[in-house]
Structure 1
Amino acid sequence: MKALVYEGPRQVKVADVPDARVERPTDVLVRITSTNICGSDLHMYEGRTDLETGRVLGHENLGEVVEVGAGVDRVQVGDRVCLPFNIGCGFCANCEHGRTAYCLTVNPGAAGGVYGYAGMGPYQGGQAEYLRVPFGDFNCLVLPPDAEEKEADYAMLSDIFPTGYHATELADVSVGESVVVFGAGPVGLMAAYSALLRGASKVMVVDRHPDRLQLAADIGAIPVDDSRGPAVEQVLDLTGGTGADKGCECVGYQAHDPDGREEPASTLNDLVGSVRATGAIGVVGLFLPQDPGGPDQLSREGKAVFDLGEFWFKGQRIGTGQANVKAYNRRLRALIHEGRAKPSFLVSHELPLQRGPEAYEHFDRRDEGWTKVILRP
């Protein structure tokens, strides 16, 4: 089958690889019709992880079931399904408590497995013609009859929409509250969108890319351009000096200043400064235990200079970690199906798989107009 494989830093190509197949009775084989490029794919693309060459990338996947193992009971051939990026078994202690991002069985020696991702198990990704889905009955979200009509919307259920929603859940966003989101990439835009869906009275989005800030404005958020002055000061001005009730970190360990200098803890510290006393912060931007390409020794060890004193003094609380997609995807699917949510507003390009290398180049450079890419194998 054709698949997009990692060849080294900033080198991916579409190549022939062994066909994905059913390997265990609980497996499902899916013909991929939509697979998204995620911002976290760029960490691997840029060589900032230990991903081995030859690995098929892609953890945001949707398609049609073409084969099921003998042990699959619920999912049927012909079903259109969206697949959570995190693979769960469904029966370990974490999965039973809804913490499917931290499944204890799919990646021995670690908590959690992901398709096509460094350090998250041996699973190939879905930027390919076919994908093997372990524990298919548990991991496949079967889509409604409008699956083809709204495919670009449902494709966002694999990661980006639930992850943005997870940021608001970690921050405990409630009706009528003000929210500041750092990062107007796809995750940040989905966090802002989710905050609005949850009834936030004011949502501010901090970034410095005009096209992404415009998308934030288009959904009803207030764009905050931090290239025009310190973001904390702008947020305080917009909230009468008190700060936002809640905050979401949607940038991660490659946060940098307007001049391009990496400052891994900058968004965390700016959130501490721009969220009010006793407010809450949700962190879904990726942070790693080690970052060999970090700007200093501390960051290379996965550590950061965090403003703990101010954080403690303000009585704030913080929640972190990958989204447990299955905790949210059924409810978010219902919002799409009933016309209450259209997350595909952030999709800028829908391209054939063969143009994957070109799409990675544009997305990695943050070229204007390249906000979210769907590849169509």
Structure 2
Amino acid sequence: MTGNRVLTFQGPMKLEIKTIDYPKLEDPRGRKIEHGVIIKLVSTNICGSDQHIYHGRFEVPQGMVMGHENTGEVVEVGRDVERIEKGDLVSVPFNVSCGRCRNCKERHTDACENSYVNDLVNCGAYGFNLGGWQGGQADYMLVPYADWNLLKFPDRDQAMEKILDLTLLSDILPTGYHGCIEAGVRTGSTVYIAGAGPVGRCAAASARLLGASCIIVADRLRERLDLVKKCGYETVDTTSATPVPDQIEAILGEREVDAGVDCVGLEAHGYGEEDRDEHSEAVINVLFDIVRAGGAMGIPGIYTNLDPGAPKTDMAKKGELPLAFSKAWIKSPKLTGGQAPVMHYNRDLMMAILWDRMPYLREVANTEVISLEDAPAAYKTFSDGSPKKFVIDPHNMLKKAA
């Protein structure tokens, strides 16, 4: 192997395909790691979280390889790897975790104590400037702690038949599911999901799998709302002059829901016709308003401690949000934020897919397969509000499978 095509960040709204060296079994410090593998990317998706990087809202170094939603075929195995073999088809959780520290042993793989290389963060993720791990929007990538991190698909042929569903296991499906779990979604729950992007749509599918009754998805973009409506969910238009609680009441007969999920994060916008400017705190404050007393909120949407591209105020640029917490406190809410611990859920969700318990997942995900060369243009299309979920096919393996 002599080269590796990769999609690199060169600055806000600027991505370039470059060819770099084929990856080595080395960590970001350059230390040899025999517990790792090299995978050939079968699919690697463009995520809404990638958009925060693309917009210059989440700081990353110039030249970083993008991509944290990765599925691949193992092509090289370190000496200490025992359970993963060449040829295995695997899903790669976007969290980099060691399986050895206290947090990993307690299934908090989103906060691994050994996956980062400095004291600025306490977690690792591919293509995210979290631990220095390069992303997988590429031909090949390194995965450390392979026996621990990788989810092996039990049957390769069966997996390739469902690969456009299984490719969602690396992030957005477990993330949407995690948001629902932390919000307490269960049989009969009424649920408000902020954001009809791919994560929000996976959260809606997860709420359906968990047995929720009324599932309401909110967004400001008509194409996305039309898509989720077509898939059988209720919708709220956040640009409408009608306040969100009034729209919920028109659907549900009451102004509150049991559970709320934030699938937007920073770059959220204000509500109604009079305030469509960006207010990153907008979603959380609406959840404080519309989740019932004693209810819960899952906040898997990304918020960063530094937001250099934030508009308006120094407070926003520091990632500090003016939350209406005093308004919410009286309701005794539960709120859980942060990354989803993908390994907590991915095997169960894989089995649900393989046994057709999520038959409409591909419809609501609305995937479109593209080449690696088409990825920069797809980032722009996604940024403009496309309802598509773009899945990159570096080696034409998805096209061959189809």
Q: Same fold (TM over 0.5)?
A: yes
The residue number in structure 2 matching 1:99 is 108
C-alpha separation between the residues in 1 aligned to 2:231 and 2:110? 29
Aligned to 1:344: 362
Instruction: Name the counterpart of 2:263.
Output: 250
Q: Is the 8 A contact 1:102 1:113 kept in 2?
A: yes
- Extract unaligned runs of 5+ from structure 2: 27-32, 395-402
Deviation larger for 93-102 or 43-52: 43-52
From 3, 7, 11, give the equivalent of 2:10. Answer: 7
Task: Summarize the alignment of residues 1-377 of structure 1 with structure 2, pairs less than 5 Å apart.
Answer: 1-23=4-26, 24-108=33-117, 109=119, 110-118=121-129, 120-145=130-155, 146-228=158-240, 229-257=242-270, 260-295=276-311, 296-342=313-359, 343-345=361-363, 346-367=365-386, 370-377=387-394
What 5-or-longer segments of structure 1 have no aligned partner? none
**Hey, what's the Cα distance between the residues in 2 that align with 1:135 and 1:153?**
25
1:347–1:374 Cα contact (<8 Å) kept: no
Q: In the TM superposition, what is the alpha-carbon distance from 1:125 to its structure 2 partner?
A: 0.5
CA separation in 2, counterparts of 1:275 and 1:237?
16
The CA RMSD over aligned residues, in Å, is: 1.3
Between the aligned partners of 1:371 and 1:311, the Cα distance in structure 2 is 35
Q: What do residues 200-248 of structure 1 show as CA deviations (whole Å, max 9, x unaligned)?
A: 1111011122221122223321011122222222113333334101111
Q: Distance in 1 between matches of 2:138 and 2:368?
A: 17
Give the partner amino acid of 2:167: A
Matched residue type, 1:141: L
Distance 1:104 1:13 in 2: 32
The separation in 2 between residues aligned to 1:43 and 1:88, in whole angstroms, is 23
Counterpart amino acid of residue 123 in structure 1: W
Q: Distance in 2 between matches of 1:191 and 1:284?
A: 10
Q: TM-score, normalised by structure 1?
A: 0.96
Quick one: percent identity of the two aligned structures? Answer: 39
Verify the 8 A CA contact 1:353 1:375 in the aligned structure 2. yes
Contact kept in structure 2, 1:162 and 1:329, CA below 8 Å:
yes
Higher mean displacement: 251-260 or 53-62? 251-260
Q: Distance in 1 between matches of 2:265 and 2:245?
A: 18
Question: Relative to structure 2, which stretch is displaced further, 337-346 or 58-67?
Answer: 337-346
> How far is 1:266 from its partner?
0.8
TM-score by length of 2: 0.90
Does the CA contact (< 8 Å) of 2:164 and 2:367 recur in 1? Answer: no
Q: Quick one: which amino acid aligns to residue 117 of structure 1?
A: F
Q: CA deviation at 1:260?
A: 4.5
